[in-house]
């Protein structure tokens, strides 16, 4: 049993601990703090865009800094650390080992996150989450830009260290009685996403260093005034970050693989096809990066190659959706809060993927590229799929972490409001993109369709914001005062259903 908060301990005991559940708890608290900080910035953006003209944000520089830090925070300081939290708690338990393979390295990887978060927030850079040169070299004001670069550099190292730890824990430390094929799908999701990290991240790490020396004026890799090429950066960046989007989504799918069968009270439809789809995704994720660059002047042949590489990833994603639906089919489904989030997340995953296919089809991308469509597209993944899977999982692990139950009604209200809000914001943004509104704009001309859709999106954002307040109250109140959980069967599923926590793990009490 995990029960971290059951026995009160001084905070420093958790902070200096290297035990996987303590590090997991640190990851959890950190990532949730950044969720709320980044979310507050999103509300500022949506409030500003409610009407044309300046509303609550004084100038475009501030606005540009806000959306840059918003994106950077939620991707790197919420989604990734949240996955690490879940992985830290559950991967060792699932492979029946006493801890992560390298506990000290694990704690070090975590402790790199707060300083990078501080660099990103104290700097407040303005060059968007991809820091494209030559803007990032010749135009973006320091020291914010340099602080962002250092922050990301540290986060990259932290990711790679964490990934090595997961790979070794799963492959080398799993219980000898357990074959690799029997490892639960959640642990498989960490194995495959970690392998992607190890292959993908070094490229961006190199690009960041080159960006920094370019900014210092001692090199000109990406600076055309010094004979460099900005497009080279775009290739290096997307070579890392297209695979990285799968790093973000794969653990969320893994979390759904825990929730869906349990609350359907049925075994997963096909364990082996889940593994197969994870492995396939991690390989094909490397074949599509330049679909972000159709409009940079690539040749017809280049575009065709990357379109094919992109479409090749769709069957693997679709297999996960099939597996979930086939598992739920004829199941005795119990729609507790975690299940609602997981099922809602799958529906949004499907819609997001359909939009992705439109982006991938080259002539259509010239409609959608760098418009609000793209903002809608990837938010259906990062919010609709990944945050939904993660939040569902948070409700699911809540009784094991705190020993108490969250308030079920508040959890359901949180889900319903967030689902409605997500549909309102991000489906509308797709349409707004088709009407031609560019992304990353502080202000826009009073085109009637643009105004209406921005307002719908802003209302949706306020609904999500409100639901997150309910969520926060529920978490804080329930972890102190919630009713005690029956940790053998907290969701009242009937007791036959295996929970990873009470595993017959000799190392866990």
- Summarize as ranges the residues that interact with another protein (CB under 8 A): 60-61, 64, 126-128, 132, 134-135, 138-140, 181, 224-225, 229-231, 267-273, 295-297, 300, 303-304, 307-308, 311-312, 314-315, 318-319, 322-323, 326, 357, 360-364, 366-367, 369-371, 435-436, 438-445
Closest CA to 117 of 46, 14, 38, 28: 38
Question: What does the alpha-carbon distance between residue 455 and residue 50 come to, in Å, rounded to a whole number?
Answer: 5
Told to check if 70 binds Cu ion by CB under 5 A, we report no
DSSP track, 425-439: IIIHHHHHHHTTPBS
Stretch that binds Cu ion, among 29-37, 134-142, 238-246, 434-442 (CB under 5 A): 238-246
CB 286 within 8 A of CB 200: yes
Residue 221, binding choice from another protein, Cu ion, ligand HEM, none, Cβ under 5 to 8 Å by partner class: none
CB 337 within 8 A of CB 370: no
Residue 378, binding choice from ligand HEM, another protein, Cu ion, none, Cβ under 5 to 8 Å by partner class: ligand HEM
Nearest to ligand HEM of 145, 290 (CB atom): 290
Residue 508, binding choice from ligand HEM, another protein, Cu ion, none, Cβ under 5 to 8 Å by partner class: none
Cα 507 to Cα 2, 94, 129: the distances in Å are: 12, 12, 42
Told to check if 242 binds Cu ion by CB under 5 A, we report yes
Residue 366: CB atoms within 10 Å: 9
Nearest to ligand HEM of 440, 477 (CB atom): 440
Q: What is the chain's alpha carbon radius of gyration, rounded to the nearest angstrom?
A: 22
User: Please, what is the Cα angle at 51 between 50 and 57, to 5 degrees?
Assistant: 75
Binding site for ligand HEM (CB under 6 A): 245-246, 248-249, 291-292, 310, 313-314, 317, 353, 356-357, 359-360, 365, 368-369, 374, 377-378, 381-382
CB 386 within 8 A of CB 254: no
Nearest to Cu ion of 237, 427 (CB atom): 237
Nearest to Cu ion of 14, 362 (CB atom): 362
Provide the token pair at 326. Answer: 């086939």
Where does 225-266 have alpha helices with state H? 230-264
Told to check if 369 binds Cu ion by CB under 5 A, we report no
Nearest to Cu ion of 359, 428 (CB atom): 359
Q: Kind and range of the H or E element at 119? A: helix 113-123
Nearest to another protein of 285, 474 (CB atom): 285
Interface residues with Cu ion (CB under 5 A) are 242
């Amino acid at each position: 049993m995990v029960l971290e908060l059951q026995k009160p301990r001084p905070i420093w005991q958790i902070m200096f601990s290297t035990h996987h559940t303590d590090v997991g708890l640190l990851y959890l608290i950190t990532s949730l703090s950044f969720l709320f900080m980044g979310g507050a910035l999103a509300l500022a953006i949506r409030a500003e865009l409610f009407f044309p003209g300046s509303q609550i944000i004084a100038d475009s520089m501030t606005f540009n800094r806000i959306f840059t830090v918003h994106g950077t925070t939620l991707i790197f300081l919420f989604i990734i650390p949240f996955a690490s939290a879940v992985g830290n708690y559950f991967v060792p338990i699932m492979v029946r080992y006493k801890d992560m393979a390298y506990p000290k390295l694990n704690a070090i990887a975590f402790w790199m996150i707060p300083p990078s978060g501080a660099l990103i927030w104290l700097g407040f850079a303005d060059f968007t989450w991809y820091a494209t040169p030559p803007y990032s070299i010749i135009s973006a004001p320091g020291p914010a830009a340099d602080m962002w670069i250092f922050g990301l550099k540290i986060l990259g190292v932290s990711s790679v260290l964490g990934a090595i730890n997961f790979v070794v824990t799963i492959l080398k430390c799993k219980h000898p009685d357990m074959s690799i094929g029997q490892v639960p799908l959640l642990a498989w999701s960490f194995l495959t996403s970690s392998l992607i990290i190890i292959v993908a991240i070094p490229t961006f790490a190199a690009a960041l260093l080159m960006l920094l020396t370019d900014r210092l004026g001692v090199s000109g890799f990406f600076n055309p005034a010094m004979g460099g090429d900005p497009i080279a950066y775009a290739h290096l960046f997307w070579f890392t970050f297209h695979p990285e989007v799968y790093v973000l989504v794969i653990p969320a799918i893994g979390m759904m693989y825990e929730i869906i069968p349990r609350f359907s009270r049925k075994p997963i439809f096909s364990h082996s096809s889940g593994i197969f789809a994870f492995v396939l995704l991690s390989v094909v994720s490397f074949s599509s990066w330049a679909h972000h660059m159709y409009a940079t002047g690539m040749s017809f042949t280049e575009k065709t190659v990357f379109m094919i590489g992109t479409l090749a990833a769709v069957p693997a994603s679709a297999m996960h959706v099939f597996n979930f639906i086939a598992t739920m089919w004829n199941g005795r489904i119990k729609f507790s809060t975690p299940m609602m989030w997981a099922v809602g997340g799958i529906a949004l995953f499907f819609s997001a993927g359909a939009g992705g296919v439109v982006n991938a089809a080259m002539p259509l991308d010239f409609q959608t590229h760098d418009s609000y469509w793209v903002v809608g597209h990837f938010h259906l993944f990062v919010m609709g799929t990944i945050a939904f899977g993660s939040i569902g999982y948070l409700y699911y692990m809540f009784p094991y972490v705190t020993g108490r139950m969250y308030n079920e009604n508040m959890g359901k209200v949180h889900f319903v409001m967030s689902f409605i809000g997500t549909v309102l914001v991000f489906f509308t943004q797709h349409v707004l993109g088709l009407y031609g509104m560019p992304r990353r704009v502080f202000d826009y001309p009073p085109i009637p369709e643009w105004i209406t859709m921005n307002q719908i999106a802003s209302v949706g954002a306020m609904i999500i914001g409100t639901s997150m307040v309910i969520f926060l109250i529920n978490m804080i109140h329930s972890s102190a005062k919630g009713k005690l959980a029956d940790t053998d069967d907290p969701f009242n599923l009937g007791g036959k259903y295996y929970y990873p926590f009470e595993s017959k793990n000799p190392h866990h009490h």
